[in-house]
Chain A
Amino acid sequence: DAGVIQSPRHEVTEMGQEVTLRCKPISGHDYLFWYRQTMMRGLELLIYFNNNVPIDDSGMPEDRFSAKMPNASFSTLKIQPSEPRDSAVYFCASSLKGRRYGYTFGSGTRLTVV
């Protein structure tokens, strides 16, 4: 298995532009998580899905952020409009129910908003 695949690896955009981050989870995993890493706050949970259904989006910072999972093999995280404070590394992770030894993370998308 190729693992969790995220694209793009790097994204530089201007303030006010729309940004879409993409994630392909491991086949068969029924949970998908979006995390954001910053120096100050470490890894923050933004939202997670179970069987393509959003379960908890309380970590989504503002209405500018939205996430979808149209099918079991694809998820997007969209920021519209983007702001400089959104600059961070965004990670997607997937896991199987009952496997308590953790999640499999993708390599992340480094977002820079200028």
Chain B
Amino acid sequence: DQQVKQNSPSLSVQEGRISILNCDYTNSMFDYFLWYKKYPAEGPTFLISISSIKDKNEDGRFTVFLNKSAKHLSLHIVPSQPGDSAVYFCAASGGRTMDTGRRALTFGSGTRLQVQP
């Protein structure tokens, strides 16, 4: 039962154009969402996040949009650069309350982005 779904395993865009990566979730208790970027032979690295009280968060070329009613979030990269080629993971927090107050992240299966020069 995957609570965080990335239905597109891969995406190819031209350099300079917009990349849009999508993520859907099923658990209505999730209240914090993150995107991670992963290069080959490296661990995932944090990219950008958004709280459920917002519907948009922007950081340079990266913007995350959250549609709570649709349980959908997306990551926009504008303009896309060849160095953005990587696997992008969507992650969500919430749904399991830990005694210590922290919740472990639930990740999607990832989308491989390739930006063509």
Q: Chain A: residues with CB nearer than 8 A to chain B?
A: 4, 31, 33, 35, 39-45, 48, 50, 55-56, 91, 93, 95, 97, 100-108
Contacts and interface: CB of A to CB of B under 8 A. Distances in A.
B89 A43 contact: yes
Contact of B41 (A4, A105, A107): A107
A97 B101 contact: yes
Which residue among B34, B106, B107 has the maximum number of chain A CB atoms within 10 Å of its CB? B107
Contact of B43 (A91, A95, A97, A100): A91
Interface stretch (B61-69, B75-83, B92-100): B92-100
Mostly, the A contact residues are strand
Interface in B9-49: 32, 34, 36, 41-46, 49
B89 A102 contact: no
B109 interface: yes
Nearest to B100: A50
- How many interface residues does chain B have, given as a range? 20 to 34
Given A45-B106, A106-B43, A100 B32 contact: yes
A113 B53 CA distance: 45
22 contacts: A41-B2, A41-B109, A42-B89, A42-B108, A43-B44, A43-B89, A43-B109, A50-B98, A55-B99, A56-B96, A56-B98, A91-B44, A93-B43, A97-B101, A97-B102, A102-B36, A102-B46, A102-B91, A102-B105, A103-B46, A107-B42, A108-B43
B45 A105 contact: yes
A102 B34 contact: yes
B69 to A, nearest CB: 23
Nearest to B106: A45
A78 B6 CA distance: 30
Contacts of B96: 56
Contact of A56 (B42, B43, B104, B105): B104
Nearest to B102: A97
Contacts of B2: 41-42
A38 B19 CA distance: 24
Given A55-B100, A97-B102, A100-B32, 14 more contacts: A42-B6, A42-B89, A43-B110, A45-B104, A50-B102, A56-B96, A97-B100, A100-B93, A101-B46, A101-B49, A102-B46, A105-B43, A105-B44, A106-B43
